[in-house]
Structure 1
């Protein structure tokens, strides 16, 4: 059969409703890795939802315990047609963030797939169940059309991505030979625009931490003690304001990267950064001499994710005893991850805020990675996607968010190619998470074409 026949099979898989039924079965698993009580569901997802599906496609599968007791199980499947052929490693994660069930709008429920118009709602649809399901279904379309792939494929499904991929690096080091491949081709994150395929080759790193100032035991009446007791919220606010200026430009020298080269700037030129599904970009926010695309994909950004002092839900007339801010630095290649928090410590001390403690989050730090946009695997993937979709894809040197891409790039030494199947308005990590039906259908098409082309490389 032909390439077009494989793509037609992928299309019919969606048009006949089989994809929606499969996705509904995956969404029904409440795989909240941030919820300790849901831990049994992590193994059940691999046992019930993944194992037989992959074995039916000729994968030899094994479920492994996580070497980190905080992490969930990991599945490795291998389909080796000929050791002399190209070997592709692919990846997905079956865990999801907390359901936030009480915040979904009427008619929706996080662990029940709901179809409304061109959207499929459910926790984990965009991140990441639909994405690895698409890639598996596209593999099946090629196998049904051709009988073989023409390449070897290894698949890794982890269940701890939403808690920092606990144990993944340790597992990769121990299984380095077993996971050896020529390239990673996987899917996570969003397209830049819903109707145009995107390729990215790495991700920004992420460091999350708390800044905590504790001045005394207990709060004290603001009438009796106002003007006499230092206000921890005010002091912490000034400390936070010293990290960035009024437009969000980072003021800590070690947090300002040196990797926004002319080549990277050229790769980011003219890429879209806004779409109707998301908010308007604040053009007067962030690094002043950079374009919005350069700020998101080529630079570092600091954010205050949450901040508390006293009891916000029920404030009283009292000077708080302490204040806390949860902060995050998203960073690109060119930032030393081992010096992020030490640099912050030096900065706060120099500004007179030595009493503020820095508490790193348990999930650790995702390192930044980036593959050269001129790499041959980038050209191959872009050409395949363009052939199927009829338009050139958007090519990003790295995702603006964070992924455990360093495990693939640094530990396994692989060139890393990501082809995302979601879009930026998907409500990922929020109530009402969803995927777009037209995008899923298009993703099935382009992945069937990509898998076909991998088996017919000259």
Structure 2
């Protein structure tokens, strides 16, 4: 792969944009625009402002045509917000890339941030830039849009076509995105998806992943009677929902988190090629390289015969997200009538998504827990597991481009440990999906004090600029 002067000039411009402070001045406007996804937060109405006043001018300057399009589920799902679609078509005969991102964030959690920090004000402390949505997902699509502009400034053209899709409901399960993709297949037709979300494997290691683990949320409920009854007068006579629920939960995994539901143990996920890729990810628990805020990995947790990387990228994991029983702040001496657990399964390719909850039902019934109700998430939100062949030519092309820009060997993951609506692009649109993240595992996304690392942002700007410079001569289109 050559390094033409135009490429060098574009990459240098990306560096200067960050080093000279222009990135922080411009990006502060994106963070100052609250775009919270939870439907009860009135700030979710800021999407139009974000599209028109923040992202829109950047796209206009790059010669894009843009429009805000309605969500197919807008009339039936409160969280189904609009989409921003933009395109720059230089020549229909050229390659076309689809770029995806999401404008919505989780709630601000305003009162829980550290002193001198606020969710909707970009604040720099050392090499950290704080603000709600900085990592998830505003900086990720901001980097892509700015990189395109640097390529245009250096070359006077892109040499390929671009379509960009920003949604507003990813944090609530992307309602309507799949329907939108199915309805607009021709509008969204492309040769490859290049998008950014999630964390790098390590802050100093450029990362590529080609899919994501799926996720399904559900509840386990033990409901025996209305109200609570005196634990002295009724203790030993009434079935305790807390105890029953605890035993049911304990039947899902063993004491170290090894999954006991047979159908939840994936088939053919850890192929020899996947194991080879994940071997290059070890050790994940590098105490010397761990940044403040990143927890140490519990090496005695999860599937015993798997490495840490295999557990998070090649296997399924079960989590209890919340428990509801009585009032912990002021417990009463009474036998409760009801207990509830909110649970989640993250799952990889090789797991039958349609059989996840039926399999749990069969497992609990066989162990004598027919009285424990299994209830799907009230919003019926689940994300599918996806994974593109890591030897796809687009993956090798992206790896070589990132290596050329950074002088580093990028890590290639078969899929992200988290979940994304990647099935909309890989399965519905049939695209090869290349994800290049610009955050890190300790970024506190979905929590107070969300932040990004300045060196990762600067390197991300250079990487994506180089990548888009190289796309004109990229590999021949390959279907996903």
Q: Please tell me the TM-score bracket, short chain as reference.
A: over 0.9
- How many residues of Structure 1 are paired with residues of Structure 2 in the alignment? 458
Alignment of 1:269 onto 2:285: no
Distance 1:39 1:121 in 2: 20
- Name the structure 2 match of 1:40: 45
Q: Map 1:341-360 to 2 at 5 A.
A: 341-360=357-376
What are the superposed Cα offsets for residues 12-52 of structure 1, whole Å, 9 maximum, x if unpaired?
11112111122211111111111332331123222222222
Alignment of 1:315 onto 2:331: yes
8 Å CA contact retained: 2:444, 2:450 = yes
Q: Map 1:233-312 to 2 at 5 A.
A: 233-258=242-267, 259-272=269-282, 273-274=284-285, 275-277=289-291, 278-312=294-328
Closer/same/farther in 2, CA of residues 231 and 399 from structure 1, 3 Å limit: same
Deviation at 1:457, TM superposition (A): 3.7
What are the superposed Cα offsets for residues 115-147 of structure 1, whole Å, 9 maximum, x if unpaired?
110010000000000111111111111111111
Match of 1:438 among 455, 460, 465: 455
- List alignment gaps of at least 5 residues for structure 2: 476-480
- List alignment gaps of at least 5 residues for structure 1: none
Match of 1:201 among 200, 210, 218: 210
SS in 1 for 2:381: strand
8 Å CA contact retained: 2:397, 2:474 = no
SS in 2 for 1:72: coil
Alignment of 1:75 onto 2:84: yes
Q: Map 1:53-452 to 2 at 5 A.
A: 53-69=58-74, 70=77, 71-258=80-267, 259-272=269-282, 273-274=284-285, 275-277=289-291, 278-361=294-377, 362-452=379-469
Deviation at 1:229, TM superposition (A): 1.3
Distance 1:276 1:314 in 2: 39
CA RMSD of the aligned region, Å? 1.1
8 Å CA contact retained: 1:206, 1:402 = yes
Deviation at 1:353, TM superposition (A): 1.3
Match of 1:4 among 8, 24, 34: 8
SS in 1 for 2:66: strand
Distance 2:231 2:25 in 1: 59
8 Å CA contact retained: 1:337, 1:365 = no
8 Å CA contact retained: 1:191, 1:424 = yes
SS in 2 for 1:51: helix
Deviation at 1:284, TM superposition (A): 1.2
SS in 1 for 2:398: helix
What are the superposed Cα offsets for residues 321-380 of structure 1, whole Å, 9 maximum, x if unpaired?
111111000000000111101111111111111122222221511000001111100000
Deviation at 1:317, TM superposition (A): 1.3
SS in 1 for 2:94: coil
Which shifted more, 217-226 or 367-376?
Answer: 217-226
8 Å CA contact retained: 2:196, 2:437 = yes
8 Å CA contact retained: 1:222, 1:317 = yes
For normalisation by structure 1, the TM-score amounts to 0.98
8 Å CA contact retained: 1:199, 1:393 = yes
Distance 1:302 1:3 in 2: 45
For normalisation by structure 2, the TM-score amounts to 0.94
Deviation at 1:93, TM superposition (A): 0.5
Distance 1:266 1:16 in 2: 41
Deviation at 1:389, TM superposition (A): 0.5
Distance 2:148 2:35 in 1: 24
What are the superposed Cα offsets for residues 181-214 of structure 1, whole Å, 9 maximum, x if unpaired?
0000000000011111000000000001111111
SS in 1 for 2:345: strand
Distance 1:438 1:145 in 2: 23
Deviation at 1:223, TM superposition (A): 1.9
Distance 1:447 1:350 in 2: 52
Which shifted more, 131-140 or 162-171?
Answer: 131-140
8 Å CA contact retained: 1:35, 1:98 = no
SS in 2 for 1:78: strand
8 Å CA contact retained: 1:81, 1:151 = yes
